[in-house]
Chains A and B, each alone.
Chain A
Amino acid sequence: MITASGITKTYKQRGNLLGARAVPALRGVDFAIERGGAVTFIGESGCGKTTLGRIVAGLETYDGGDIVIDGTPMSSLKPRHREPFFRRIQLIHQDPYSALNPTRTIHQTLAAPLALRAKQTGRDKAWMEERARELLALVGIDPGYVLPRYPHQLSGGMRQRVVIARALTVDPEVLVADESVSMIDVSLRLGVLALLKDLRERLNVSVLFITHDIATARYIGGDGELYVIYRGQVVESGPTESVISGPIHPYTQSLLSAIPVLHGVERPGPERVVPTEALNEAHPDTGCLFARRCPFRTDRCEAAAPALVSDGDQRHACYHPQRRDVIPVEAVA
């Protein structure tokens, strides 16, 4: 069980002589991942979802708030004592091409973390070989084919499976999948998604899924929680299916309205929300962050920021909450 509360992160952009400009990437984000559960972050690029994933995987530090892993607050530990905790959370990179060392065979790639594991648990070399094969079989690839090969000899889908197998060498509790299929061929994507879904069930691993593609979130974590992040802040959250079928925040509605309709298979939803302006980081930080782009804004929105409040099983940060039916409807043949 991992809980994050009030995570903030500010990047310093190199400024002029007068000092650096502070760019807030995360403005106080709370969430929790249960064992075997699924949590999805969606949002536009630059909204902070990738930073959040990297923070959870221990690859980046945070400025405020705290992450509690299995009851231990990370702020209570020295950085080097945090490492074993963060090792239970493994990041699956977006790019399976740079995630594997091109100069090392898959066998070498898997052997290194397995050797570490064998040393910790007092097991021998035979166990390592056995385990490497077991893990590759688990992610659905033929160990005999893959082990002696270099990454460039494998397809994108296979590489991403190897990356997942490598993450599994340390028996993680959470896999953080950051846009993990966006660089894989369309016909192979669902296979990798199905694998992640399968791992949740078979190994009881939780998946933290970071994406801009809400439909894939529905596939992997339909039973989990969805967090919609906008400019470093959660603007809406709730059970994935509820948020998708009844989005409350206008930003969530804009995201869902923007999803292409597969004409012929689907027809457009009855309502559609289009932002009045493009995303602009220079928009004021006071009031609701989405106000300038929101078609439903009032003076109140620009005056003070709305807080995240509960509404049924969903939470939203909006002064004018209203469920709208924006997603495409299945066409009846």
Chain B
Amino acid sequence: MTRTSAPGVRVKDLTVVYKTPAGELPALGGVSLSLAPGTITGIVGESGSGKSTLALSLLNAVQPPGRIKEGVVEIDGLGDVVKLTGEELRRARGRQVGYVFQAAQNSLNPLKTVGKQLLDLGRSHDFDDLPALLKDARALLGRMGLDGGRVLDSYQHELSGGMRQRVGIMFALVLNAHLVVLDEPTTALDMITQAAILKIVRDVHHERGLTTLIITHDMGVAAEVTDSLAVMYGGRVVEHGPTTEVLGSPRHPYTKGLIRAIPRLSGDIDEARALPGRPPTLGTIPKQGCVFRERCPLRIAVCDTVDPEPITRDARTVACHAVGRLATPVVPKEYV
């Protein structure tokens, strides 16, 4: 069964741990995040924030030594992905959830033409009508400004970085998945190519009626294409809300600091300020209390002992003791 409309995604209290010599360390510490059907959501975070782990969890594809310890990943039409196994899971990947891997430029098989790899994909998902699949792929590639026939006959080395990236997006979409996850879709691409790819992502998203998730470390990329933006730090979602609001009036001190640390072309360049300290790694994420407190200008006593709950006010979720404690009544639920 394939859905024809955009699915919603609900991640609840997801904890993913990695086994290390120092014991099991949490890469994700009870993350809750919802993707509204038909929206583009961005997840922004630095290395070690857990953003890629979260993306992999949507496919239940966390590789050992990592494992999903607890939590629910509910995708409309699929149910709880965490409970899927074996064949069911394999079918879901590609058919229902399309995934563009980090460094998709390098994830093609160098020994086979793109077309041949596409046929392999079709066969492994029991597609009867392979010519139709090729036709779809050609149309998609044409849609992205490429000569579909030529690209399908090409080997990886005959395509430029930007072209490979588009081929990766085609692979994620061609099986008619309506949930698409793009992990760092534009790293290692040039500004002009990046702009072109982001435009394609946005256009295809609207044309096909998708739910799209973009993982990136680049605030600009997220700002350019997303409707809603989640900021991750130390394995937590620290802030989530509509993109323009999160960027325009950030509430969490990390989001604020991050935005101020980006040199921009507009405004006074000397107002850019570096964030003190450095992001935690898997081993240095504090076991209790707020994960950001070491770098936080608003640190108060409670931050040392209690991990702040995400709290939603005015349709925006923030996990911070210092800003969550304001007068308005709070609803302990997250922004959708």
Contacts and interface: CB of A to CB of B under 8 A. Distances in A.
A233 to B, nearest CB: 17
Given A187-B279, A190-B274, A264-B243, A44 B192 contact: yes
Nearest to A158: B278
Interface in B203-255: 217-221, 223-224, 243-249
Given A219-B263, A244-B265, A258 B195 contact: yes
Interface string A271-287: 00011001100000000
A194 interface: yes
Contacts of A329: 266
Interface in A238-268: 244, 254-266
Contact of A188 (B145, B195, B247, B275): B275
A262 B220 contact: yes
B219 A262 contact: yes
Nearest to A185: B46
A151 interface: no
A44 B224 CA distance: 20
A1 interface: no
B63 interface: no
A67 to B, nearest CB: 27
B279 A260 contact: no
A214 B218 CA distance: 15
B327 interface: no
B262 A264 contact: no
A158 B278 CA distance: 10
A77 interface: no
A218 B269 CA distance: 7
A44 to B, nearest CB: 4
B274 A186 contact: no
A244 B264 CA distance: 11
A61 to B, nearest CB: 27
A166 interface: no
B194 A258 contact: yes
Interface residues of A, number: 46
B247 A262 contact: yes
A214 B190 CA distance: 12
A222 interface: yes
A260 B266 contact: no
Interface in B243-294: 243-249, 257-259, 261-267, 269, 272-275, 278-279
A256 B265 contact: yes
Nearest to B277: A187
Contacts of B132: none
Contacts of B5: none
Contacts of A214: 265
B124 interface: no
Interface string A202-237: 000000000011111011001000000000000000
Interface residues of B, number: 45
A155 B245 contact: no
A264 B266 contact: no
A190 B221 CA distance: 18
A45 interface: yes
A45 B196 CA distance: 16
B190 A45 contact: yes
A190 B223 contact: no
A187 B218 CA distance: 11
A218 B266 CA distance: 10
A329 B267 CA distance: 8
B191 interface: yes
Contact of A262 (B195, B261, B262): B262
A328 interface: yes
Contacts of B219: 186, 262
Interface in A160-218: 185-191, 193-194, 212-216, 218
Nearest to A268: B224
Contacts of B258: 186-187
Given A256-B265, A262-B223, A263-B224, A187 B275 contact: yes
Contacts of B249: 264, 333
B47 interface: yes
Contact of B269 (A222, A266, A279): A222
Nearest to A197: B270
A255 B191 contact: yes
Given A185-B279, A278-B162, A260 B192 contact: no
B160 interface: yes
A274 B191 CA distance: 11
A23 interface: no
Contacts of A260: 194-195, 198, 218, 220-221, 223-224
B217 A330 contact: no
A331 interface: yes
A266 to B, nearest CB: 5
A226 B147 CA distance: 36
A157 interface: yes
B141 to A, nearest CB: 13
A327 interface: yes
A333 B267 CA distance: 13
Most chain A beta-carbon neighbours within 10 Å: one of B193, B195, B265, B267: B265
Interface in A318-333: 327-331, 333
Contacts of B275: 187-188, 190-191
22 contacts: A157-B278, A185-B46, A185-B217, A185-B278, A186-B46, A186-B218, A186-B219, A187-B278, A188-B279, A189-B274, A190-B261, A190-B272, A215-B264, A218-B265, A255-B191, A259-B191, A261-B224, A266-B264, A275-B192, A279-B190, A279-B193, A333-B248
Q: Kindly list the 8 A-B residue pairs having the minimum CB-CB distance in the complex, ordered from nearest.
A: A260-B220, A264-B248, A264-B247, A264-B244, A258-B195, A191-B274, A260-B224, A190-B274
Given A187-B279, A256-B265, A328-B266, 13 more contacts: A190-B272, A215-B269, A216-B263, A219-B269, A255-B192, A259-B220, A261-B220, A262-B223, A262-B264, A263-B247, A264-B245, A264-B247, A278-B160
Interface of B: 46-47, 145, 160, 162-163, 190-196, 198, 217-221, 223-224, 243-249, 257-259, 261-267, 269, 272-275, 278-279
